[in-house]
């Protein structure tokens, strides 16, 4: 088992920390440069009926009367404690709003990510292994066409064809009218989730397909595949014992990324389907110019992306025996 040099690990963590700090600093300055502060923006809708205790609480929480540098430190501390401010539009704490919507997004994301990665990788491996054959070319060209069509258009077309014309699926939302009388019903929600999940799976799969196929094609051209064949291995064994493990290496990085990127909710699909997840909330917040909420979404996304890059680096070291972090630096 290769040893990860602790020095390298600390360096990578350092970089990740700096990246996050940059994001936090940016959000701080934007928040601060916005005309008005929390009081005027947040409590605007309360008109002037703001009790003094609330105002004091705000001042204390966000240090609104402190000098800039102190506010900055306080801001960072708040962020690390999960106090990400309050939404201008909804008046609720940003962090809890994001967490709530995240759960909804995950209903769509978890199955689609898992299936998308599996399906995409499998088809990509098969396609790459048989690259140049008619079937591979057919699939490859189809995938290029599919990928060229934008996500939101796929979503709109899917809703039009399957929900509107064929009436197989509901037109959007997460529940039907029955929620008013019978409350939230799990099967109902799942029924509403099927089409968006299918679309997301599909889109993730096309991305994976392309990378896996290229990776497999590279691997096939390598000398050790000829060596394996010269030993008398049949094609299946060459594929499974030699080609696949090498071809999957680049996929580790990609997959980690995808998981992080997609966690942020898919803005387009959720908007088209009116699915109450983070993506949908992003569109709404954009419409309402709700800066703290959008910043919160940005921070969460940064956290996840930075974390994913770090994780990908570590995973690659663990899996690929050629890479020894720290020894060649």
Residues 196-255 binding other proteins (CB under 8 A) are 214, 217-218, 221-224, 226-235, 237, 241-242, 245-246, 249
Q: By CB under 8 A, is residue 273 in contact with other proteins?
A: no
Binding mask 93-112 for other proteins (x = CB under 8 A): --------------------
- Using a 10 angstrom Cβ sphere, with 0-12 exposed, 13-18 middle and 19 or more buried, the burial of residue 37 is middle
Contact residue for other proteins among 160, 182, 184, 190 (CB under 8 A): 160
The per-residue DSSP string of 173-242 comes to SSS-THHHHH---HHHHHHHHHHHHHHHHHHHHHHHHHHHHHHHHHHHTSHHHHHHHHTT--HHHIIIII
User: Which residue, 59 or 146, has its beta carbon nearer to other proteins?
Assistant: 146
Q: Decide if 116 contacts 205 (C-beta within 8 A).
A: yes
CB of 268 to other proteins, least distance (A): 6
Name the minimum Å distance from CB 49 to other proteins.
27
Give 53 or 223: the residue with its C-beta nearer to other proteins.
223
- How many amino acids of this chain bind other proteins (CB under 8 A)? 79
Please report whether residue 30 would count as binding other proteins according to CB under 8 A. Answer: yes
DSSP for residue 82? T
| 27 contributes a contact to other proteins by CB under 8 A | yes
- SS3 of the chain: helix, strand, coil, percent, to 5: 75, 0, 25
Neighbours of 260 (CB within 10 A): 19
What is the residue-wise DSSP string for 255-279? Answer: HHHHHHHHHT--HHHHHHHT--SHH
Contacts of 129 (CB under 8 A, 6+ apart): 216, 220, 239, 243
Q: Would you count residue 137 as binding other proteins (CB under 8 A)?
A: yes
Nearer to other proteins, 13 or 54 (CB): 13
Closer by beta carbon to other proteins, 26 or else 50: 26
Does position 302 interact with other proteins (CB under 8 A)? The reply is yes
Q: Which residue has the tokens 């390598």?
A: 222
Work out whether 168 is an interface residue with other proteins (CB under 8 A).
no
Dihedral sign for Cα atoms in the order 90, 95, 99, 105: positive
Q: What is the CA radius of gyration of the chain?
A: 25
Residue 89 as a binder of other proteins (CB under 8 A): the answer is no
- Binding test (CB under 8 A) with other proteins, winner from 79, 123, 254, 264: 264
Torsion of CA 59, 65, 67, 70, to 10 degrees: -10
Interaction of residue 327 with other proteins, rule CB under 8 A: no
User: Binding other proteins by CB under 8 A: which of 129, 174, 268, 273?
Assistant: 268
Find the shortest distance in angstroms from Cβ 217 to other proteins: 5
At its nearest, how many Å lie between other proteins and the CB of residue 115? Answer: 23
Q: Does 156 bind other proteins (CB under 8 A)?
A: yes
| In the complex, minimum distance from the CB of residue 110 to other proteins, in angstroms, rounded to a whole number | 20
271 binds other proteins (CB under 8 A): yes
Candidates 38-46, 73-81, 129-137, 193-201: pick the segment binding other proteins (CB under 8 A).
129-137
Q: What is the closest distance, in whole angstroms, from the C-beta atom of residue 251 to other proteins in the complex?
A: 13
Q: HSE-up of 64 (CA within 13 Å, CB side)?
A: 14
Q: How far is the CB of 48 from other proteins (least distance, A)?
A: 26
């Amino acid at each position: 088992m290769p040893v990860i040099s602790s020095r390298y690990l600390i360096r990578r963590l350092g970089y990740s920390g700096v990246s996050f700090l940059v994001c936090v600093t940016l959000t701080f300055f934007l928040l601060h440069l916005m005309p008005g502060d929390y009081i005027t923006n947040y409590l605007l809708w309360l008109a002037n009926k703001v009790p003094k205790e609330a105002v004091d609480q705000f001042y204390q929480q966000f240090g609104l009367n402190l000098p800039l540098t102190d506010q900055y430190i306080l801001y960072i501390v708040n962020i690390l404690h999960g106090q990400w401010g309050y939404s201008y539009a909804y008046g609720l704490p940003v962090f809890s709003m994001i967490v709530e919507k995240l759960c909804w997004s995950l209903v769509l994301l978890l199955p689609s990510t898992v299936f998308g990665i599996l399906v995409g990788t499998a088809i990509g491996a098969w396609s790459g292994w048989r690259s140049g054959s008619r079937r591979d070319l057919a699939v490859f060209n189809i995938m290029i066409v599919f990928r060229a069509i934008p996500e939101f258009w796929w979503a709109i077309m899917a809703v039009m064809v399957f929900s509107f014309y064929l009436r197989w699926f509901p037109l959007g939302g997460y529940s039907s009218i029955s929620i008013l009388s019978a409350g939230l019903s799990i099967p109902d929600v799942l029924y509403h989730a099927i089409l968006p999940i299918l679309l997301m799976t599909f889109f993730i799969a096309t991305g994976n397909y392309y990378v896996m196929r290229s990776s497999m094609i590279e691997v096939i051209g390598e000398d050790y595949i000829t060596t394996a064949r010269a030993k008398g291995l049949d094609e299946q064994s060459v594929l499974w014992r030699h080609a696949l493990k090498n071809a999957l290496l680049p996929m580790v990085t990609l997959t980690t990324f995808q998981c992080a990127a997609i966690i942020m909710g898919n803005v387009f699909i959720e908007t088209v389907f009116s699915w109450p997840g983070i993506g949908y909330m992003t569109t709404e917040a954009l419409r309402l110019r709700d800066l703290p909420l959008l910043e919160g979404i940005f921070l969460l996304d940064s956290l996840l992306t930075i974390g994913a890059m770090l994780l990908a680096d570590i995973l690659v070291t663990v899996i690929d025996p050629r890479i020894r972090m720290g020894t060649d630096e």
